[in-house]
Structure 1
Amino acid sequence: MHILVATAVPVERDAVARAFPGTGPEAAVEVPRPGTVLHRLPDGWDLLAAGVGPALAAASTAAALTAAALDSAPYGLVVSAGIGGGFAPDAPVGSLVVADEITAADLGAETADGFLPVTDLGFGTVTHRPPAGLVRAVAAATGARTGTVLTGSTVTGTAERAALLRARHPRALAEAMEGFGVAEAAAAHGVPVLELRAVSNPVGPRDRAAWRIGDALTALTDAFGKLAPVLRSWNPHER
């Protein structure tokens, strides 16, 4: 199955590439796409540093999906992957989270009565749900926790904001900035999506000294080493 893995930045993309023995970042072939460049591994996986934030991630992923379709080599699965913040105590630093719901945390309207998601305003969607069987298989293979991964255009930086998000989304385990954008692009092409996050820091006050980015990138590499056989054997008709 032709698989596209979309990360935010090149260091995350390269962490995924290192999961494939003998085909790390140095073995990737650059494939130009409108506005972006794919890194194609010898075994057919395409890795994309799609950019930071949901808008750029959606645009870059859509460009890759469209180009693949025009080449008569469509993708069977899109994986949004990278590091992210974890909601304590359920997703501690160093843990993995696989999304059973990919939710836009701040897409909607603030009102006097509180936040209204865009769906309550009669538009669009705020949640994409990856294939349940695939989520279970990934969690079993990698030891990842399963729950909601939130996408925001602004990273949470206070305890108050973290508490507000958790109250609004009780099943939230992690927060990142690209998953919903990647999922929107995948949905527009009718391609299933998965999101996997390695937790580098707690969601809340920004304490850069406590971040464990290197450890999270290592966890991401290890996860894809265990994940690859699961994705290769998955039946894409199971939605």
Structure 2
Amino acid sequence: MSSNRAKRCLIVTAVEAERDAFDRGVAQLPEELRTSVTLLVGGVTAAVAAAKTAIALARAPYDVVVSAGIGGVFPESGQLGDLLIAERIIAADLGADGPEGFQSVEELGFGTTVIGALPLDALKAVGGRDAVRGDLLTVSTGTGTAERAAWLRTRYPGAVGEAMEGYGVAVAAAQFELPIAEVRAASNLVGPRDRSAWRIGEALSTLTAAAAPIVEGLLR
């Protein structure tokens, strides 16, 4: 990171509700840290998020990028309201299918589907609950069946959750040689789609609680 200017952090969320939740946490920070944070609504899906993140990075200098929001948690890994922190960001369904099974873009020889993430080691717990660390999957179609969830867990045994934008934000950050972190507050379980069981409000509260320690850990 540059030593001749203040560190700057770009936080990318998919939607305004996530941005607002994170902003409520940032508002609790000292002014010198608040002014070093830019919040961007990057849109839904990896492609849209990648494009908007790249535009933002081209327009202003940053030192670190964070993909933040809510997402799904695998029941074996955590529970609703938990904060999920990526150790790796993986494009889980980017590739080709066929009689021999799914092959990732990486296996096809066309690039990489795995990007390493900042571990945010200082962030141990949020709201009295331990943070959950592991691989965060980026999917183009949200999981809605037990069969799909089982396939993802078999293929990616280190996965703790899924969302739709992390890999796109990470690819954009990589183009500018910037470190990337991804955090997700668990709003639903990865598996059969049941909107009545979602806990979006609780997840947004977790995101608010995590915002200040995330920024402090990155910029101090």
What TM-score do the two structures reach when normalised by structure 1?
0.84
2:82 aligned with 1:90, yes or no?
no
2:50 aligned residue: 58
Runs of 4+ that moved beyond 3 A: none
Paired with 1:13 and 1:198, the residues of 2 have a C-alpha distance of: 13
Q: Offset of 1:88 from its aligned partner?
A: 0.4
2:95 aligned residue: 108
1:48 aligned residue: 40
Paired with 2:26 and 2:179, the residues of 1 have a C-alpha distance of: 23
Q: Which shifted more, 94-103 or 221-230?
A: 221-230
CA contact (8 A) 1:141 1:227 kept: no
Paired with 2:59 and 2:151, the residues of 1 have a C-alpha distance of: 40
Residue of 191, 195, 201 corresponding to 2:178: 191
2:69 aligned with 1:78, yes or no?
no
1:10 aligned residue: 16
Paired with 2:46 and 2:27, the residues of 1 have a C-alpha distance of: 31
2:207 aligned with 1:220, yes or no?
yes
Q: Offset of 1:90 from its aligned partner?
A: 1.1
CA contact (8 A) 1:91 1:173 kept: yes
Percent of aligned pairs with the same residue?
Answer: 51
2:137 aligned with 1:137, yes or no?
no
Paired with 1:7 and 1:225, the residues of 2 have a C-alpha distance of: 16
Q: Offset of 1:229 from its aligned partner?
A: 1.5
Paired with 1:230 and 1:135, the residues of 2 have a C-alpha distance of: 7
Q: Relative CO higher for 1 or 2, CA cutoff 8 Å, sep ≥ 6?
A: 2
Residue of 16, 21, 29 corresponding to 2:27: 21
1:174 aligned residue: 161
CA contact (8 A) 1:87 1:174 kept: yes
User: What are the ranges of 5 or more consecutive residues in structure 1 without an aligned counterpart?
Assistant: 24-40, 69-73, 234-239
What TM-score do the two structures reach when normalised by structure 2?
0.91
Q: Deviations over 1:55-113 (max 9, x none)?
A: 00000000000111xxxxx1110000000000002121111110000000111111212
User: What are the ranges of 5 or more consecutive residues in structure 2 without an aligned counterpart?
Assistant: 1-6
CA contact (8 A) 1:8 1:57 kept: yes
3-state SS of paired residue (1:114): coil
CA RMSD of aligned residues (A): 1.4
CA contact (8 A) 2:27 2:34 kept: no
